[in-house]
Chain A
Amino acid sequence: MSAVIQLKVAPQPSRYDFEDQLRRRGMDLPPLAVDTLQVNITKLCNQVCRHCHVDASPARTEMLSPEGVAKCLEILERHPQIRNLDLTGGAPELHPQFDEFVERAVALGRHVMVRHNLTVQLDGHPVTKASKEYLPAFFARNRVEVISSLPYYQAYFTDAQRGSGVFGKSMEAMKRLNAVGYGVEGSGLVLNLVYNPVGPYLPAPQAELEAAYRRELKDKFGLSFNGLYTMTNMPINRFKLHLDKSGQYEAYMDKLLAAFNPAAAAGVMCRSLVSVGHDGRIYDCDFNQMLDLRALGAGGKPLSIFDFDYDQVVKRAIRFDDHCLGCTAGAGSSCGGATA
């Protein structure tokens, strides 16, 4: 009879260990506050973008339950220090309670941001086929801040990332937003655009790109907007799959590591927001949510909206992993754009 010897091999530390970068610089990144509740209310989307970290598509069915919506509103009501509600997805407008959620949060005096992909206005609901053409007027009535992805001011990059024909539809949707006052000076209705690279490279400087977008969109399409946020692609899910398949993962991670910027690290968004999943679980950010890295409270207990305790949330230790290098490279990256 042969004896089988079980060898336990210690896992090798990652070359891209984010916390090691912090330790080397004597940095600690505790939460500062929770001023934004970012809620991923559905993974359903009318688009299938090649870089999507949510893996959203018309085939996804995950939705925040009515109890979850009610609990988020209760949290906002009980905690006035959480000033912002940031609704994302998928396409958040495809959630059956989207309109109600927005209206009730606005009634509570909260600033509501919607991550609006533009094309849903024209495509409508991919399952029920319900029209979403009312959205510009609805947004305007509730004075929602609209934040929309537009990877470039030309069709080539935009369609490569977001699908054939998306650029043309995005221009039409922006026209409809401009028509109700979004992005128009003096209206107070804010339309911010989001740029992210269409491959494994870092964004150009935010201010320069914003100026180019403003000039090109005005000259070629007669469109206007308020600000441009540059975001870096996170090496997770669909984008990581692309990096792996094309043999570019290590080169991209090396690029992010080489560009580590302590000033960008100090401004990472997980220090001032929490991300809520469709099941009510709380995460440090939308990326951790997609990796199922749950935010942990006292005693390592996973945090949830269903037993929300603000003190525990703000005293948690943020969970970092290799992908966090995406938020700290170069000028930094967050849901509000560059951080340094």
Chain B
Amino acid sequence: MSNYYESEDLKKFGAIGEHAKGLADDFFKYYGSVTGTDGALTKREKALIALAVSHAQKCPYCIDAYTTQCLETGANPEQMMEAVHVAAAMMAGITLVHSVQMQNHLKKLVL
């Protein structure tokens, strides 16, 4: 292996069961129930949320997997790109709202 994040490694997700099979089984059951079924949200809506989270968390495995999942649930590139913008806007907002903390501390420090 010469690089981190080999795309072939996505297929090895199941290997997280090594040394901790019971916990992995519990996780995959939960993961499948949440992302792989229609509920109050459709699978397509869930795939778009997962795509946004994949970008916010910068996970290349998840970006590949959920780009495919979005297409296989009928989403289109406009919806997918808008989901990424939601992630980007949230990340920007999260960064900016922390400036309140900075300003609070600034006020404490400045005479």
Residues on B with beta carbons closer than 8 Å to the beta carbon of A204: 44, 71-74
Residues on A with beta carbons closer than 8 Å to the beta carbon of B74: 204-205, 208-209, 212
Contact A201 B68 (CB under 8 A): yes
A332 within 8 A of B: no
Contact A208 B76 (CB under 8 A): no
A203 within 8 A of B: yes
10 contacts between A and B (CB under 8 A): A154-B76, A157-B76, A199-B71, A201-B71, A204-B44, A204-B72, A204-B74, A205-B74, A208-B42, A208-B74
A156 within 8 A of B: yes
The chain B residue with its CB closest to the CB of A213 is: B74
The chain A residue with its CB closest to the CB of B78 is: A154
Contact B72 A202 (CB under 8 A): yes
With A204-B44, A208-B44 in contact, do A156 and B76 touch (Cβ < 8 Å)? yes
Residues on B with beta carbons closer than 8 Å to the beta carbon of A212: 74
Residues on A with beta carbons closer than 8 Å to the beta carbon of B71: 197, 199, 201, 204
B92 to chain A, nearest CB (A): 27
Residues on A with beta carbons closer than 8 Å to the beta carbon of B78: 154
The chain B residue with its CB closest to the CB of A156 is: B77
A229 within 8 A of B: no
Per-residue B-contact encoding for A134-172, CB less than 8 Å = 1, 0 else:
000000000000000000101011000000000000000
Residues of chain A at the chain B interface (Cβ within 8 Å): 152, 154, 156-157, 197, 199, 201-205, 208-209, 212
How many B residues have CB within 8 A of the partner chain?
A: 10
B76 to chain A, nearest CB (A): 6
B67 to chain A, nearest CB (A): 9
Per-residue A-contact encoding for B59-86, CB less than 8 Å = 1, 0 else:
0000000001001111011100000000
Please give 20 more A-B residue pairs, beta carbons under 8 A apart, in addition to A201-B72, A203-B72. A152-B76, A154-B76, A154-B78, A156-B76, A157-B76, A197-B71, A199-B71, A201-B68, A201-B71, A202-B72, A204-B44, A204-B71, A204-B72, A204-B73, A204-B74, A205-B74, A208-B44, A208-B73, A209-B74, A212-B74
Residues on B with beta carbons closer than 8 Å to the beta carbon of A202: 72
Name the residue among B68, B72, B73, B74 with the largest chain A CB count within 10 angstroms.
Answer: B74
Name the residue among B71, B77, B78 with the largest chain A CB count within 10 angstroms.
Answer: B71
Residues on A with beta carbons closer than 8 Å to the beta carbon of B76: 152, 154, 156-157
B64 to chain A, nearest CB (A): 11
The 9 closest A-B pairs by CB, nearest first: A204-B74, A209-B74, A201-B71, A201-B72, A204-B73, A202-B72, A201-B68, A208-B74, A204-B72
Residues on A with beta carbons closer than 8 Å to the beta carbon of B73: 204-205, 208
The chain A residue with its CB closest to the CB of B8 is: A251
The chain B residue with its CB closest to the CB of A200 is: B68
A234 to B92, alpha carbons, bound, how many Å? Answer: 43
Residues on B with beta carbons closer than 8 Å to the beta carbon of A199: 71
Residues on B with beta carbons closer than 8 Å to the beta carbon of A205: 73-74
Residues on A with beta carbons closer than 8 Å to the beta carbon of B72: 197, 201-204
A201 to B74, alpha carbons, bound, how many Å? Answer: 11
A208 to B77, alpha carbons, bound, how many Å? Answer: 17
A152 to B74, alpha carbons, bound, how many Å? Answer: 9
Residues on A with beta carbons closer than 8 Å to the beta carbon of B77: 156
A88 to B72, alpha carbons, bound, how many Å? Answer: 27
B80 to chain A, nearest CB (A): 11
A175 to B78, alpha carbons, bound, how many Å? Answer: 25
A157 to B68, alpha carbons, bound, how many Å? Answer: 14
The chain B residue with its CB closest to the CB of A157 is: B76
A1 to B34, alpha carbons, bound, how many Å? Answer: 71
The chain A residue with its CB closest to the CB of B73 is: A204
B6 to chain A, nearest CB (A): 14
Residues on A with beta carbons closer than 8 Å to the beta carbon of B68: 201
A212 to B77, alpha carbons, bound, how many Å? Answer: 15
B28 to chain A, nearest CB (A): 15
B69 to chain A, nearest CB (A): 9
Residues on B with beta carbons closer than 8 Å to the beta carbon of A154: 76, 78
A93 to B76, alpha carbons, bound, how many Å? Answer: 32
Per-residue A-contact encoding for B32-56, CB less than 8 Å = 1, 0 else:
0000000000101000000000000
